[in-house]
């Protein structure tokens, strides 16, 4: 904590941590603080320990499966970049930072853990990187449709202004999930019933062609490879 950091803001942060921990739910067991002379504001570093009773990897996609995302993409990265560049919109851009346990647990309850073939959080490198890693690890091709990928209009506008693809920037409250095609609609309904999955969508399918690659079907019907970004377009602050 930087010397002189306002107590009111510190209390707001602690309250938010408590609310989020109760939402998941997890317990915050202990903590330690250090005050430094620099005007750094505040940095919070956490470590979580738990038991993975039903681990789901990002490598289990099978040909014929459906690909889902739990909500709109690009919100976090574009919000950060817009703030740094001083770009203002009538509708405020907000990060999507949120726990995703409610979404995952709801889908598992609806279709069974065994039918969640693969999951990944589209954080660093965004959707592009997440899908490419999943395709590569499972040795399958993935086809996604641009028209089905949920992106807020203000995020699309800001990304166009910044020259950044919303598929390439980090998301902090979304999950990419791959399930058998016959369970896709049930999984989608389960996601949409949750607080953090109201904008969920089925965006594509797993295919045999182009193994290890991701194909994007554009809005005008063309197709191109969706490559992972060479670097994160949103520089990290930590």
pTM exceeds cut of 0.75: yes
Record: fold of 66-225: Phosphoribosyl-aminoimidazole Synthetase; Chain A, domain 2 (3.90.650)
Domain with CATH 3.90.650.10 in the chain: 66-225
- Nearest CA to 228 out of 123, 150, 139, 155 is that of 123
Superfamily of the domain at 1-50: PurM-like, N-terminal domain (3.30.1330.10)
pLDDT digits (tens, 9 = 90+) for 149-181: 999 998 898 888 888 899 998 999 999 999 999
Residues 6+ apart with CB under 8 A from 172: 76, 95, 96, 97, 98, 123
pLDDT digits (tens, 9 = 90+) for 100-142: 999 999 999 999 999 999 999 999 899 999 999 999 999 999 9
């Amino acid at each position: 904590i930087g010397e002189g950091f306002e107590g009111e803001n510190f209390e707001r942060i602690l309250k938010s941590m408590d609310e989020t921990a109760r939402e998941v739910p997890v317990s915050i067991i202990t903590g330690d603080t250090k005050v430094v002379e620099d005007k750094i504001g505040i940095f919070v570093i956490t470590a979580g320990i738990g038991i993975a009773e039903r681990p789901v990897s990002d490598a289990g996609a099978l040909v014929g499966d459906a690909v889902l995302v739990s909500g709109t993409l690009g919100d976090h990265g574009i919000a950060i970049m817009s703030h740094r560049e001083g770009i203002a919109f009538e509708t405020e851009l907000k990060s999507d930072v949120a726990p995703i346990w409610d979404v995952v647990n709801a889908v598992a309850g609806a279709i069974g853990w065994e039918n969640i073939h693969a999951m990944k959080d589209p954080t660093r490198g965004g959707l592009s990187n997440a899908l490419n890693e999943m395709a590569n690890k499972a040795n399958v091709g993935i086809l996604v449709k641009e028209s089905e990928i949920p992106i807020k209009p203000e995020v699309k506008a800001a990304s166009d202004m910044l020259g950044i693809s919303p598929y390439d920037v980090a998301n902090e409250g979304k999950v990419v999930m791959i399930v058998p095609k016959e369970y896709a609609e049930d999984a989608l309904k389960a996601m949409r019933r949750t607080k953090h999955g109201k904008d969920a969508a089925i965006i594509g399918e797993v295919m045999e062609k182009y193994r290890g690659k991701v194909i994007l079907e554009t809005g005008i019907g063309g197709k191109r490879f969706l490559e992972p970004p060479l670097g994160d377009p949103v520089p990290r602050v930590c």
